[in-house]
Amino acid sequence: MNLAQDSRRARQERLVDILGREPFLTDEQLAAKFSVSVQTIRLDRMALGIPELRERIKDLAVSRYHEVRSLAPDEVFGDIVELELGVQGLSIWRADREHAFSRSSIVRGHYLFAQANSLAVAIVDADQALTARATVKFMRSVNAGSYMIAHARVKGERHGYVRVGVQTKVHHESVFEADFLIMRKGIEITGGSAGEGCD
């Protein structure tokens, strides 16, 4: 065994370790971490039998869809890869060129909202849930080709309303934040007092 083989084996061991901790890294991000080419990372992944990011996400998402109560699988925007009903969830979505403005590569804001809103509704432990109110903040623009990772957490519940906070990141940088008030089926929205004190 020569030094090159030693180096490749060590890199591949580190690759397995890193993807075990951060499974949603792209080949480009991994190449930057290891200071190697994207092609080298792809060859390492193939040698180790690790699928590309899109396939890893799909595999994780398929195993989670049956856990969602409030939405049918085809109603979920993004791929839910972690879900703890009534507590928290994680969704990943890749923006393609079709999601961007025609004159730029900037992703249209309603897609970021759709991913966050879909995840907020999905983590509510109910057969049916609807958005009663949302406060959103766009932190910075996002370009087509980016992977959006949204994390939602239940912040409180009162009188059939669930307050959910969502933060969406690209490359560990926050790009979108939202605070949703989700009502369970059968609850009526009453003026401006819906879900007051829901924290």
Closest by alpha carbon to 92, among 38, 23, 41? 23
pTM: 0.74
Per-residue pLDDT at 109: 96
82 and 41, same structural domain?
A: no
Q: Is the dihedral of CA 61, 62, 67, 71 positive or negative?
A: positive
Interval 90-116 mean pLDDT: 95
103-120: average pLDDT: 96
- Give residue 2's pLDDT: 44
84 and 38 in a common domain: no
Which of 10-14, 85-89, 94-98, 178-182 shows the lowest mean pLDDT across its residues? Answer: 10-14
User: If you average pLDDT over residues 131-153, what whole number do you get?
Assistant: 95
Domain match, 9 and 96 both: no
Are 81 and 137 part of one and the same domain? yes
**Residue range 15-49, pLDDT digits in tens:** 888 888 887 888 888 998 888 998 999 888 888 88
User: Could you list the residue range(s) of the whole structural domain that residue 169 is in?
Assistant: 68-193
Confidence of residue 65 (pLDDT cuts 50, 70, 90): low
Counting every residue, how long is the chain? 199
CA distance 30 to 73: 31
95 near 145, Cβ under 8 Å? yes
User: Is position 153 within any domain?
Assistant: yes
Residues 38 and 83 in one domain: no
Instruction: State the chain's maximal CA–CA distance in angstroms.
Output: 74
Determine the 3-state secondary structure of 159 from DSSP: coil
Instruction: Give the C-alpha separation, 20 to 30, whole Å.
Output: 13
- Residues 90, 188 within the same domain: yes
Half-sphere exposure of 65 (CA within 13 A, CB side): 14
Domains held by the chain: number? 2
**pLDDT-above-70 percentage for the chain:** 86
Pairing of strands 173-184, 161-170: antiparallel
Q: Do 35 and 122 belong together in one domain?
A: no
Each residue of 146-199: pLDDT tens digit?
Answer: 999 999 999 999 989 999 999 999 988 999 999 999 998 755 555 555 555 555
Residue 79 located in a structural domain: yes
